[in-house]
Amino acid sequence: MRRLPPLELFIVVLTAIFLVVGWKVYGGLHPVSGLGHAQKAPSQLYARLTIRYTKPPIYEEAYRMQDVEGVSTFEYRIRSYNCKEITIKAPPGKIYDVSFFFGGLDQDGIWQMVNLRPRPNPDAYYTVYVKQLADFKQGERTVTFTNPKYWATHAPGQQFQLDLSKQGPKDLLYMQSQKVDPRYQQVVDDFRAFGSNEFRKNVAAAQERARTSACK
């Protein structure tokens, strides 16, 4: 039998070693469950509207909506000055998509709304709270205001701002006028209009009961 030259023999042996090591490393391993797949991003949406009245008969109304991992729930609660409290929950089997409702709040500018100074002698104080957790990013906002119908027809007022980038003394202070802002009324209307006809009918009935019930 012909003997291989030292160089050829070395190449053959080295090739055999690579083949054995490669089989041990790659051929003997099995995929581990869960590896190679991105963790599912959590999805949580919360929206609340609380209306606190300054005069009887209604003391407080509260809308609470949430969508956690695609499961939507919501309820309405009303309390009167005469001790009556009623809670209306989503009708069984008729769950409205809260994520769709949340998208409407987004389009109506909930993330751009700011606190507004209370109007003199307001009938009610409004508080809107939203929170969103999606794609591992979180944001939340709380806005307080009164008289949303008023702001839909009247500008919040004029703001005076100091501009330090100007050189002349007369340019240091300037006035910025603000336009009417219907977003506050629109967001309140969004909450009021949410849900099925049955849910809104039950809410109306609860409002009537809270107005007329007396303390025991």
Q: Which residue has the higher pLDDT, 28 or 64?
A: 64
- Position 42 scores a pLDDT of 83
Question: Is residue 35 situated within a structural domain?
Answer: no
For residue 207, the enclosing domain spans 43-148+181-212
Q: Which residue has the higher pLDDT, 161 or 12?
A: 12
Question: Is residue 125 situated within a structural domain?
Answer: yes
Q: Is the pLDDT of residue 195 over 60?
A: yes
Asked which of 19-33, 77-91, 94-108, 153-167 is least confident by mean pLDDT, the reply is: 19-33
Query: Average of pLDDT values for 130-158?
Result: 88
pTM: 0.71
Question: Is residue 81 situated within a structural domain?
Answer: yes
Question: Is residue 91 situated within a structural domain?
Answer: yes
Q: Is the pLDDT of residue 4 over 70?
A: no
Q: Is the pLDDT of residue 212 over 80?
A: yes
CATH number for 108: 3.30.1560
Question: Is residue 167 situated within a structural domain?
Answer: no
Determine the length of the chain. Answer: 216
State the Cα angle at 122 between 120 and 127, rounded to 5°.
120
- Position 90 scores a pLDDT of 85
Q: What are phi and psi of 198, to 5 degrees?
A: -65, -45
Task: Count Cα neighbours of 212 within 13 Å in the Cβ-side half-sphere.
Answer: 6
Of the candidates 196, 160, 193, the residue with the CA atom closest to the CA atom of residue 178: 160
Q: Work out the percent of the chain whose per-residue pLDDT is above 90.
A: 56
Q: Is the pLDDT of residue 159 over 90?
A: no
- Position 77 scores a pLDDT of 98
Question: How far apart (Å, rounded) are the C-alpha atoms in residues 85 and 62?
Answer: 11
Question: Is residue 171 situated within a structural domain?
Answer: no
- Position 134 scores a pLDDT of 85
Number of independent structural domains in the chain: 1
pLDDT tens digits along 49-107: 999 999 999 999 999 999 999 889 999 999 999 878 999 998 766 667 899 999 999 99
Question: Is residue 97 situated within a structural domain?
Answer: yes
Q: Which residues are within 8 A (CB) of 44 and not within 5 positions of it... i.e. 6 or more apart?
A: 66, 67, 68, 69, 131, 132, 133, 134
Question: Is residue 70 situated within a structural domain?
Answer: yes
Asked which of 11-20, 28-37, 205-214 is least confident by mean pLDDT, the reply is: 28-37
Instruction: Give the chain's mean pLDDT.
Output: 79
